[in-house]
Amino acid sequence: MNRILLTGTAGFIGSHLSEKLLEEGYSVIGLDNFDPFYDRKIKERNLSHFIDHPNFTFQEIDFCDMTALQTIPEFDMVIHLAAKAGVRPSIENPGSYIQTNIQGTNNILELMRQRKVHKMVFASSSSVYGNNTKIPFTETDEVNGPISPYAFSKRSCELMNYTYHSLYNMDILNLRFFTVYGPRQRPDLAIHKFVRKIQNGEGIQMFGDGSSARDYTFIHDTIDGIFRALKYVENHQNVYEIINLGNHTPVKLSELINTIDQVTEQEMVIEQLPMQAGDVNITYANIDKAQELLGYMPKTSIHDGLKKFVEWYDEVNAY
């Protein structure tokens, strides 16, 4: 049984992935530091779905603490999801993103080097593409124009991962996620905020004229892609790849809001505001490489995904 070190295990993506890995027969050593970016109780609720599983071990560790990392049991592979998230907060406090995302990832790589572990799947981001004018975004596109500290921290990690691949023969897949949404989504993200405000009878803020677009990817499709990436890196030698995990279907902000309106069947009041610093105009994933190497094929439409999110939201907020 392969033992997976999974960072960010209590988060949105990490908790779903933990369940998938355990279902597939893996042993999981889950790390999380309960970063105060949002309420600890949300992460504890995420963990409650699998924390008692016999093949799951949880450690509350900050991966920026190299001494604490030394206490982790032996493991065979790494899935490194943990990071300081959020484009806008990174503009307000760039130093913390450099420390957590870059130095923290270096600590994970150093731990792998020390333990002679050679396999990793890394969570990167579509934000590295910046305001790329060529669409859809392809892995070979130039990505030298990040427009937020969060974006440059993720690109820096991709480059650092290549260095460790080259120097220490580590097999690494960097997965560029595209606006993942669904049950357990972080409360600061747009879909979660919109649904919460609509259900509470509050107005919602629309930044820009509604023409900005995102390649929204449902959580179960993303989890399928991560698991396929894990199997790929598990079974191949001398690999370093960057792979888009998107839905290949950008949705305009105005369309997203209209679809949420349909799904919730509630009236909404929209306050239009200017675009915010660090926001990109569009994200749009070319997923040919993911299809070719991983057999990845997202299946969930924005309508169906939003319906599942709203059902989950209503369930966890029922009184």
> What is the set of active-site residues?
150
Residue 210 identity (one-letter amino acid): G
H or E segment to which residue 293 belongs: helix 288-294
* Nearest partner of 126 among 213, 29, 235, 57, judged by Cα: 213
- 3 neighbors 29 (Cβ within 8 angstroms): yes
Contact 34, 60 (CB under 8 A): yes
- 99 close to 164: Cβ distance less than 8 angstroms: no
The dihedral of CA 59, 21, 219, 266: what is its sign? negative
Q: Cα-flanking dihedrals φ and ψ of residue 263, to 5°?
A: -70, -40
Retrieve residue 82's tokens.
Answer: 């943990």
Residue 238 to residue 259: CA distance in whole angstroms: 44
Q: 173: which 2 tokens?
A: 């897949």
How do beta strands 240-245 and 77-80 pair? unpaired
